[in-house]
């Protein structure tokens, strides 16, 4: 099913603030005749610099955009992070160029990586990495492309903004250096690239490029204020007309972009203008823009294949599924008994002895992914886990923490729940696949979730339990898993603000009514799910089977076709 874009209207509300009437007419003429021949995917994450889900999208979507839509050229444009990346994995292009930035000239070198893919058919795309001395020098300790200083948040934000502005200025010049001058669609990812909607238009006017349009995808509503004075470092036009001291990157970019604004799931698109977390906390400053031109959901495809053990998908019998899951459970328990990296803490035991003898009817739950106290809800799960008695459940957590202090509450609960909880605060060298397929339930207590990884659990035959938010609502229903939500009366702006303000020390959230309600309702749905697993096995394995069927509805082919609809609006 395609996107319903008939009512969409282009939002060029800021064009007159940057360009004259004659310049706007010239830009409109270039876009009117633009053909979709070169799609430039612009991202601050890549296969060599990962933080969240954007890196996974980047490593999946490009071949499908190219092959499904028969686009002649699709490429990635991204920073080269000297403190994170290994230059030997890339090839020099021999291309160099210089750009004016903040009243000085900066030299840029380009490296490339050739991605030879086999799906949806054999082919290749180029990835280009921009390297410039003094830029993209992130913290090498945490190896996160968004962390320039992990001890001073204000300094980190300042450095991030400077690098964002530089990248947005450099990208059109990089295309010129490659000899790609016309019929370009810049597919912008997140706020870090949104100002290319400005620099691309300026590039058409100064002769750097001939014809190029911009399309914006928001994976989050995270944004950053950009003062007019800072913006003047990439365009003198910013000083022609201005109100106040500046706008955020999205306030500027979304009012210059040339096509419908998209995000990565249908439900998250709706939440941008209906969920108090977005409307009153994260994105109140964008509500007028959203209401004028809308936000459209384009579901991501699958990041992994269905496990070969479940190749028959929904055609498996209940007995077949039970046999496979018990084998996977046995393999998981073996890993949990033997794999003990030095960073691991918290014991898993049964009746005070080895976990390897755990009876089949005791559920094993797992939660994986980065540790973001503002989003992922690890502390909500920990509060629910505290309510269970010894040997009622076994919990495995794999939080990837930037700050060691964020693990304090994990240590506290691991001590209280001895025997029930173990924590791997490291990138697993073994056991990840066993966790995905051997667990009884995968838990996603997200505060918000643009898309989420519920389908990854489903593809491994594991039932999901998730908070009813964002993309999790599109992935999980009563046929394949369990959704829960806190009591509505607790979901207030006051409680949300208190929640965020205590992100540095999550133990301080214990008196927050919203946190209490989320934990209580998660506990209730866990008890319900456990009862089904222990007493209604046929119903449990029906959830497994329906999950395997559900994952087939998330495809990169469909994703690529919907984005092509969006690309075509550039020339409208």
Which tens digit of pLDDT belongs to each residue from 428-437? 999 999 999 9
Long-range contacts of 532-541 (CB under 8 A, 24+ apart): 533/361, 533/363, 533/440, 533/441, 534/361, 534/363, 537/318, 537/322, 538/318, 540/463, 541/318, 541/321, 541/322, 541/325
Give CA–CA dist 552/154, Å, rounded. 43
Which tens digit of pLDDT belongs to each residue from 443-473? 999 999 999 999 999 999 999 999 999 999 9
530 close to 393: Cβ distance less than 8 angstroms: yes
The Cα angle at residue 115 between residues 113 and 116, in degrees rounded to 5: 140
Give CA–CA dist 448/280, Å, rounded. 14
Q: Which two structure tokens, joined as six digits, stand for 45?
A: 């994450």
Which tens digit of pLDDT belongs to each residue from 174-196? 999 999 999 999 999 999 999 99
Band of residue 492 on the pLDDT scale cut at 50, 70, 90? very high
SS3 88: helix
423 close to 414: Cβ distance less than 8 angstroms: yes
Give CA–CA dist 443/455, Å, rounded. 12
According to the model, what pLDDT value does residue 241 have? 61
According to the model, what pLDDT value does residue 237 have? 75
Which of 211, 243, 201, 234 lies closest to 19 in space, CA to CA?
201
Mean pLDDT for the chain? 95
Phi, psi of 561 (to 5 degrees): -65, -40
Band of residue 403 on the pLDDT scale cut at 50, 70, 90? confident
Question: Could you give the domains of the chain?
Answer: 15-301+557-571 (3.40.50.2000), 318-552 (3.40.50.2000)
Phi, psi of 4 (to 5 degrees): -95, 90
Percent of the chain with pLDDT over 70: 99
Stretch 395-402: mean pLDDT: 92
Radius of gyration of the chain (CA): 24
> With 80 as the cut, is the pLDDT of residue 140 above it?
no
pTM for this structure?
0.95
According to the model, what pLDDT value does residue 408 have? 95
According to the model, what pLDDT value does residue 245 have? 87
According to the model, what pLDDT value does residue 243 have? 65
Q: Which residues have a Cβ under 8 Å from the Cβ of 305 and sit 6 or more positions away?
A: 459
According to the model, what pLDDT value does residue 236 have? 77
Give CA–CA dist 470/460, Å, rounded. 22
Long-range contacts of 15-19 (CB under 8 A, 24+ apart): 15/256, 16/241, 17/240, 17/241, 17/242, 18/198, 18/201, 18/235, 18/237, 18/238, 18/240, 18/241, 18/256, 19/201, 19/205, 19/237
According to the model, what pLDDT value does residue 538 have? 97
**Helix, strand, coil tally for the chain in percent (to 5):** 45, 20, 35
SS3 127: strand
According to the model, what pLDDT value does residue 543 have? 98
Which tens digit of pLDDT belongs to each residue from 198-257? 999 999 999 999 999 999 999 999 999 999 989 988 987 766 666 678 999 999 999 999
Q: How far is CA 533 from CA 106, 462, 525, in A?
A: 61, 12, 12
Least trusted range by pLDDT, from 209-218, 261-270, 306-315, 385-394: 306-315
According to the model, what pLDDT value does residue 443 have? 98
Q: Which residues have a Cβ under 8 Å from the Cβ of 418 and sit 6 or more positions away?
A: 346, 347, 349, 390
Phi, psi of 290 (to 5 degrees): -60, -45
Stretch 351-368: mean pLDDT: 95
According to the model, what pLDDT value does residue 400 have? 87
Stretch 327-335: mean pLDDT: 97
According to the model, what pLDDT value does residue 572 have? 79
Q: Which residues have a Cβ under 8 Å from the Cβ of 332 and sit 6 or more positions away?
A: 364, 431, 434, 435, 437, 438, 439
Give CA–CA dist 99/176, Å, rounded. 12
Stretch 368-374: mean pLDDT: 91
Higher pLDDT, 386 or 151: 386
> With 90 as the cut, is the pLDDT of residue 401 above it?
no
Give CA–CA dist 274/252, Å, rounded. 22
According to the model, what pLDDT value does residue 1 have? 59
> With 90 as the cut, is the pLDDT of residue 420 above it?
yes
Which tens digit of pLDDT belongs to each residue from 34-44? 999 999 999 99
**Number of Cβ atoms within 10 Å of the Cβ of 110:** 21
571 close to 213: Cβ distance less than 8 angstroms: yes
Which of 543, 528, 475 lies closest to 316 in space, CA to CA?
543
């Amino acid at each position: 099913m395609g996107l319903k874009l008939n009512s969409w209207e282009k939002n060029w509300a800021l064009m007159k603030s940057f360009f004259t009437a004659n310049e706007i007419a010239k830009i409109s003429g270039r876009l009117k005749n633009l053909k979709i021949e070169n799609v430039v995917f612009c991202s601050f994450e890549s296969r060599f610099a990962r933080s969240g889900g954007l890196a996974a999208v980047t490593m999946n979507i490009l071949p499908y955009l190219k092959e499904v839509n028969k686009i002649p050229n699709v490429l990635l444009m991204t920073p080269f992070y000297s403190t994170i990346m290994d230059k030997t994995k890339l090839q020099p292009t021999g291309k160099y160029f210089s750009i004016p930035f903040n009243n000085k000239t900066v030299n840029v070198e380009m490296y490339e990586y050739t991605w030879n893919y086999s799906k949806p058919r054999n082919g290749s795309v180029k990835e280009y990495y921009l390297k410039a001395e003094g830029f993209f020098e992130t913290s090498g300790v945490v190896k996160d492309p968004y962390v320039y200083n992990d001890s001073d948040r204000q300094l980190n934000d300042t450095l991030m903004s400077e690098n964002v502005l530089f990248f947005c200025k450099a990208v059109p010049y990089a295309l010129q250096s490659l000899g790609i001058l016309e019929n370009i669609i810049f597919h912008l990812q997140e706020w870090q690239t949104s100002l290319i909607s400005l620099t691309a238009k300026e590039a058409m006017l100064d002769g750097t490029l001939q014809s190029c349009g911009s399309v914006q995808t928001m994976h989050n509503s995270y944004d950053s204020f950009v003062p007019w004075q800072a913006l003047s470092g990439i365009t003198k036009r910013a000083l022609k007309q201005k109100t106040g001291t500046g706008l955020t990157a999205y306030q500027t970019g979304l009012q210059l972009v040339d096509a419908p604004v998209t995000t990565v799931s249908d439900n998250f698109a709706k939440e941008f203008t209906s969920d108090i977390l977005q409307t009153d906390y994260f994105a109140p400053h964008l509500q007028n823009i959203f209401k004028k031109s809308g936000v459209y959901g384009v579901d991501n495809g699958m990041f992994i294949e269905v496990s070969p053990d479940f190749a028959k998908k929904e055609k498996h019998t209940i007995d077949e599924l039970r046999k496979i899951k018990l084998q996977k459970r046995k393999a998981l328990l073996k890993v949990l008994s033997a794999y003990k990296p030095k960073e691991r803490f918290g014991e898993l035991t049964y009746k005070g002895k080895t976990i390897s003898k755990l009876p089949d009817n005791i559920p094993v739950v797992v939660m994986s992914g980065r540790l973001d106290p503002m989003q992922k809800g690890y502390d909500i799960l920990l509060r629910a886990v505290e309510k269970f008695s010894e040997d009622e459940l076994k919990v495995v957590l794999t939080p990837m923490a930037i700050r060691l202090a964020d693990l304090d509450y994990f240590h506290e609960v691991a001590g209280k729940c001895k025997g029930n909880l173990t924590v791997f605060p490291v990138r697993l060298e073994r056991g990840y696949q066993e966790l995905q397929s051997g667990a009884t339930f995968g838990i996603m207590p997200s505060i918000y979730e643009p898309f989420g990884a519920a389908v990854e659990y489903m593809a491994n035959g594991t039932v999901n339990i998730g908070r009813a938010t964002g993309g999790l609502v599109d992935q999980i229903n009563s046929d394949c898993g369990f959704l829960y939500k806190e009591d509505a009366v607790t979901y207030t702006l006051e409680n949300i603000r208190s929640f965020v303000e205590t992100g540095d020390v999550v133990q301080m959230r214990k008196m927050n009514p919203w946190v209490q309600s989320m934990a209580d309702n998660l506990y209730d749905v866990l008890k319900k799910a456990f009862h089904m697993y222990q007493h209604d096995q046929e119903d449990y394995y029906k959830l497994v089977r329906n999950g395997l069927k559900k994952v087939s509805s998330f495809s990169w082919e469909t994703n690529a076709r919907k984005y092509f609809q969006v690309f075509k609006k550039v020339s409208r």
